[in-house]
């Protein structure tokens, strides 16, 4: 009965059959999107989002998330792009262990990584994120992104979805132990975002890097400061890791080699746009005349490259003015 009341309330914009059956428990539609789990160490796993922009078809499953099973509980790294996807990740974890999911680390506050938080909060996990995410939460960009995602994947966010906060803000390096497994959390940013956080699972040599490094796709630059980002990649590579799980794309068993793609792309953007700025070439002309062939075949090139180049062009203008 209660369910029908709920349906009556939601019928205007929501499909009743896909709304969770326990009223009050979940406000978002269920997802049954396929999710393959990859194991990269004795305790360490990840799921890989599609190398696409968010769409209704991919439900916003466009980023990676990791989890680490210790004998005392589970640590999760990133929550994916909606509470429904967060639930899917929990289902996959539950196929492997019934131990409590105790802690969730957020790599950075971008929609595809932290919108899944409510699913984990609902089951009692504690959420940690770097304190520098405050800047994003209060930004116009965050409100705009939320409006956009509500349009595309609103049913998997739920009608009351608002930007979820962590339970604990981190402002310094943190090391902790769970079930005999040592974890190191390091602030690597500002790079892709001011708050970029990486997690090393020490016995496994597995580094969850967030979006500081993308594997196999053109990164999303946004308003990131690319000069600082390049420095951050070098800081990241100092961390002794056998495997690196990036924020997007396949895990890398040769972090040094694979970080090069992100680094080369950023260096190339800065060189090309820097030259254009130096020679007073307007952006459109500059963009047209750059030979992009080296990166053209990468997934998301068409969706991201022009915007990235434009943002870097503006940055190079700024940098030239402040010199």
Residues that bind Zn ion (CB under 5 A): 110, 211
* Residues paired with 19 in a beta bridge: 29
Q: Give yes or no for a contact between 226 and 265, defined as CB atoms under 8 angstroms apart.
A: no
Closer to Zn ion at the Cβ: 70 or 209? 209
Distance CA 230, CA 187 (A): 15
Q: Which element (helix H / strand E) includes 177?
A: strand 174-178
d(CA 283, CA 298): 22
Question: Which of helix, strand or coil describes residue 78?
Answer: coil
Q: How far is the CB of 235 from Zn ion (least distance, A)?
A: 18
Q: Closer CB to Zn ion, residue 44 or residue 107?
A: 107
* The pair of three-digit structure tokens given for residue 291, joined into one six-digit string: 């030979």
Cβ atoms 66, 200 nearer than 8 A: no
Q: Tokens for 125, please give them.
A: 């996990």
Q: Which residue is nearest to Zn ion (CB)?
A: 110
Task: Tell me the two tokens of residue 240.
Answer: 């002794």
The β-bridge relationship of strands 168-170 and 174-178 is: unpaired
CA terminus-to-terminus distance, the chain: 68
- Minimum CB distance to Zn ion, residue 11 (Å): 35
How far apart CA 241 and CA 256 sit, in angstroms, is 10
Nearest distance from C-beta of residue 258 to Zn ion, angstroms? 18
Which residue lies nearer to Zn ion by CB, 20 or 111? 111
CB of residue 192 to Zn ion, shortest distance in Å:
5
Please identify, using beta-carbon distances, which residue of 110 and 149 lies nearer to Zn ion. 110
* C-alpha span between 150 and 144 (Å, rounded): 10
Shortest gap between Cβ of 189 and Zn ion (angstroms)?
Answer: 11
Shortest reach from residue 212's CB to Zn ion, in Å: 9
Instruction: Look up residue 200 and give its two tokens.
Output: 């090393």
Q: How far is the CB of 110 from Zn ion (least distance, A)?
A: 3
CB of 281 to Zn ion, least distance (A): 30
Nearer to Zn ion, 111 or 241 (CB): 111
By beta-carbon proximity to Zn ion, the closer residue of 29 and 236 is: 236
Q: Which is nearer to Zn ion, 26 or 110 (by Cβ)?
A: 110
Across 91-221, where does the E strand assignment appear?
Answer: 101-105, 126-130, 168-170, 174-178, 181-187, 197-201, 206-214
């Amino acid at each position: 009965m209660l369910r029908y009341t709920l349906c009556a309330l939601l019928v205007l914009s929501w499909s009743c059959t896909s709304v969770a059956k326990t009223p009050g428990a979940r406000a978002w539609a269920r997802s049954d999107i396929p999710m393959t789990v990859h194991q990269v160490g004795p305790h360490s796993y990840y799921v890989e989002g599609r190398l696409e922009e968010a769409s209704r078809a991919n439900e916003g499953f466009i980023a990676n998330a990791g989890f680490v099973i210790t004998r005392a509980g589970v640590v999760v790294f990133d929550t994916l792009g909606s509470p429904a996807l967060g639930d899917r990740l929990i289902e996959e974890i539950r196929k492997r262990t019934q131990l409590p999911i105790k802690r969730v680390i957020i790599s950075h506050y971008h929609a595809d990584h932290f919108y899944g938080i409510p699913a984990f909060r609902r089951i009692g996990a504690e959420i940690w994120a770097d304190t520098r995410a405050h800047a994003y939460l209060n930004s116009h960009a965050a409100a705009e992104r939320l409006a956009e995602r509500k349009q595309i994947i609103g049913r998997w966010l739920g009608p009351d979805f608002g930007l979820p906060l962590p339970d604990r803000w981190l402002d310094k390096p943190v090391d902790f132990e769970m079930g005999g497994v040592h974890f190191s959390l390091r602030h690597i940013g500002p790079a892709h975002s001011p708050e970029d956080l990486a997690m090393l699972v020490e016995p496994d040599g597995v580094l969850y890097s967030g979006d500081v490094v993308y594997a196999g796709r053109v990164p999303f630059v946004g308003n990131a400061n690319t000069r600082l980002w390049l420095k951050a990649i070098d800081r990241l590579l100092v961390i002794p890791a056998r495997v690196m799980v990036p924020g997007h794309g396949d895990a890398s068993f040769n972090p040094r080699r694979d970080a090069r793609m992100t680094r080369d792309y950023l260096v190339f953007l800065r060189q090309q746009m820097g030259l254009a700025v130096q020679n007073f070439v307007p952006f459109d002309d500059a963009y047209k005349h750059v030979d992009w062939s080296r990166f053209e075949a990468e997934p998301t090139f068409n969706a991201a490259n022009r915007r990235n180049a434009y943002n870097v062009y503006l940055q190079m203008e700024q940098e030239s003015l402040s010199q």
